Structure 1
Amino acid sequence: MLKQSASRLARVFAGVAALGVVGVLGAWSGSESRSEGKTITIGLIAKSQTNPVFLAARTGANDAARDLGKQYGVEIKIDWQTPVSEDAQKQAAYMERLVANGADGIAVSCSDAKTLTLAINAAVDKGVPVVCFDSDAPESKRFAYYGTDDFACGKQLGAELVQAMGGKGVVAILAGNQTAPNLAKRVAGVKEELKKHEGVKLKDVYFHKETAQDAVAKLEEVQRTNPEITGWAMVGGWPLFTDNALDNIAGKAKVVAVDALRQQLVYVRNGQVEVLLGQKVYEWGYESVRLLVEKIVNKQTPSDPVVRADLVRVTRENAEEYGRQWAKWLGEDKAKPGSKTGG
């Protein structure tokens, strides 16, 4: 009896050991083959579908999915989960949904850092890596941020405006969403630069909903009630997405703005805007996907988690050349592959 029991126990232990080996081999095989034959799904959460800069980012993400898919022998899908207009709560909900649906990584531009930090941390805690682009959540568990040095951007914007105004006058700052961390840093940069110039006075900072119509309405209201304003520093180019936006400003105030999209270039060409500072909006998507795929496939992260993107100074002299790039950035020269739409 004892011999039979011992024999049965030996067989059980052998079976358990065999299962353990199979389990280990299975786990090893899955991780090692991740770069071969697997579909990688990257969630892309921008601030809004109505801002063309994020459409360029979406094109960049799709292009990166195509290029890196070929490089690593995998299918990479971009799952576009972006609110129609800015809504940090919806962004957080989309992130939760992406995690629940099995996304392998997520890229997000944060409308509100505090709200998104909680969502980012929850995603990372469940094993989903997150990268921020354009607007960061620096206190979160995101492993990288790709985008503009916003404080430096604000300083450059302020310097460009002071030069255009001849070193004297009254400045207003058009600032979009008051809770967006990237815009707050740009505003701080403008203010810091203006302090250097005794002949320049800051009137105030003006916030608004980030649509062209709301931005134009705020711009016209402020200029009408404060005719002493002789310069506008726009930390985002929201009014310039619509026609005739500066008709009530022209001749009264100099204008400089961040972003240099196709619609906005018209204002540089006609002289109503002195300088546009173009961001790497296409690269927001491309580089975010590249960073995520490198982490997912190769377990690699950048040595510095903050990856800076340079600005491009756009004036009347180089506006045409710069504008020709937008056909690519908006995906007009090809169909957009592998993209799903969420709302």
Structure 2
Amino acid sequence: MRSKSFRVGIGSVLFAAAMGSAAFAGPDPKDIDITVVYHDTGIEFAQVIKAGALAAGKELGINVEFVGPIGIKVDEEVAFIENAITKKVEGLAISNVNGEALNPVIDKAMAANIPVVTFNSEAPGSKRLAFFGQDLVSSGKAAAESLVKTMGTDGSVLIITGEAAASWSQDRENGARTELAKYPGISVVNTISTGWEEQAQYAAIENAIRANPDLKGIISLDAATTPATGRALQRVERATKIHHVGFDLIPETLDNVKAGVTDAALSQNPYMQGYLPVKALFDLITTGKAIESVDTGILQVDQSNIDEYLEKLKKGEPIG
């Protein structure tokens, strides 16, 4: 690790932010290392976040490293954060999928004078400075609203997630259930937590569909189970009978929307979830500018605009 000519404590940075940026002289950008830790770097969705983070680093002339486990492995994610603390990076952006395990290490980084923000998945109860991502409860409600529009106000619904215990999944499920509870004719028959191994995930989804012959709707809560649900619906030949709403705009999901297998997919703007935390940390470190949380919003892709997003994908735009 190279030596650094500049090091500033988070206390000094926050004091400068309170006093105004003119009171603060920051480091040379080339001396700034920011580590972005995502909870599963092996999925296509993560590559869009990575593209945003690296683009910010290139634009700002700083060193940005995008790291994290392949597959959700909490112990490995903690190890990546611990390594960044040991390296004494200037800033950390972390996607938190397990508050019990990650909040203490987030607080450890802050205590070590490393400013921390979270992105994509929030860390309630930690000392992080800000969060960059979708309002997950609202996105769960939006998914349920979208399903009701296509399915109607009666019928049985299945909720599918890669990890029901994850904070992001709980928030989205709570939002979806709250919205669906407005309709007495709709019953949520189960929440299926599939895990992240691809074949086991697909098998769990197909088995759940087969076990519920009267199923009328499915909400998939993440980027992995959404295309897997589309695949399963086609395999069991129930794509025309079961309405499906999911999340994120990876290529297979977009194809499924185009084919009418998935009625709608909701995006959370993952590119900006990578870009904005890096930019905010840079501004804090170099000028003392206070960091504020940013809601990256909810974008729905369905039959009304699918061609637009397939064209964006064809052009190589990072839509996620």
Q: Shorter-chain TM-score: which interval?
A: 0.7 to 0.9
Q: Relative to structure 2, which stretch is displaced further, 315-324 or 220-229?
A: 315-324
Q: Which amino acid aligns with 2:54?
A: N
Q: Does residue 1:40 correspond to 2:29, yes or no?
A: no
Change (3 A) 1:250 1:330: closer
- Partner in structure 1 of residue 254 of structure 2: 265
Q: Does the CA contact (< 8 Å) of 1:212 and 1:241 recur in 2? A: no
Decide which moves more: 316-325 or 243-252. 243-252
Kindly provide the CA deviation profile for residues 1-28 of structure 1, in whole angstroms up to 9, marking residues without a partner as x. xxxxxxxxxxxxxxxxxxxxxxxxx999
1:90 Cα shift?
Answer: 1.1
Indicate yes or no: 2:315 matched with 1:323.
no
Secondary structure of 1:119 counterpart: helix
- Whether the 8 Å CA contact 2:155–2:186 is kept in 1: the answer is yes
Identity of aligned residues (%): 26
34-43 or 115-124: which moved more?
34-43
> CA-to-partner distance for each residue in 1:35-56, whole Å, 9 max, x for gaps?
4364211111111122211110
TM-score (normalizing by structure 2): 0.86
Give the counterpart of 2:282 among 287, 290, 293.
293
Q: How does 1:1-150 map to 2 (within 5 A)?
A: 34-36=26-28, 38-69=30-61, 76-150=62-136
Whole-Å separation in 2 of the counterparts to 1:39 and 1:156: 42
Show structure 2 runs of 5+ residues with no match: 1-5, 14-23
| Alignment coverage as a number of residue pairs | 296
What letter corresponds to residue 176 of structure 1 in structure 2?
G
Q: CA RMSD in A?
A: 2.2
Per the alignment, do residues 218 and 144 of structure 1 end up closer, same or farther by CA in structure 2, a change over 3 Å counting?
same
TM, length-normalised to structure 1: 0.81
1:266/1:212 Cα in 2 relative to 1: closer, same or farther (>3 Å)? farther
Which of 245, 254, 268 is the aligned partner of 1:256? 245
Residue 235 of structure 1 pairs with residue 227 of structure 2? no
What's 1:9 paired with? none
Following superposition, the deviation at residue 108 of structure 1 comes to 1.0
Q: In 2, Cα distance between the equivalents of 1:37 and 1:268?
A: 43
Amino acid at match of 2:52: G
What does residue 312 of structure 1 align with?
Answer: 299
Partner of 2:215, secondary structure, is coil
1:100-129, CA deviations, whole angstroms, 9 ceiling, x for partnerless residues? 112111111112122110110001100111
Alpha-carbon separation, structure 1, partners of 2:286 and 2:36: 18
Distance 1:239 1:181 in 2: 16
For residues 214-247 of structure 1, give each alpha carbon's deviation from its aligned partner in whole angstroms, at most 9, with x where no partner exists. 3322211111112121100111142444684431
Q: Which has the larger radius of gyration?
A: 1
Per-residue CA deviations over 1:192-214 (Å, capped at 9, x if unaligned) read 00110111111011112135433
Deviations for 1:286-325, whole angstroms, at most 9, x for unmatched residues?
Answer: 01101111111111223xx432111111012311212344
Are 1:208 and 2:194 matched, yes or no? Answer: yes
Alignment partners' CA distance in 1, 2:90 and 2:310:
35
Distance (Å, rounded) in 1 between the aligned partners of 2:255 and 2:83: 40
Residues of 2 paired with 1:323 and 1:292: CA distance?
A: 33
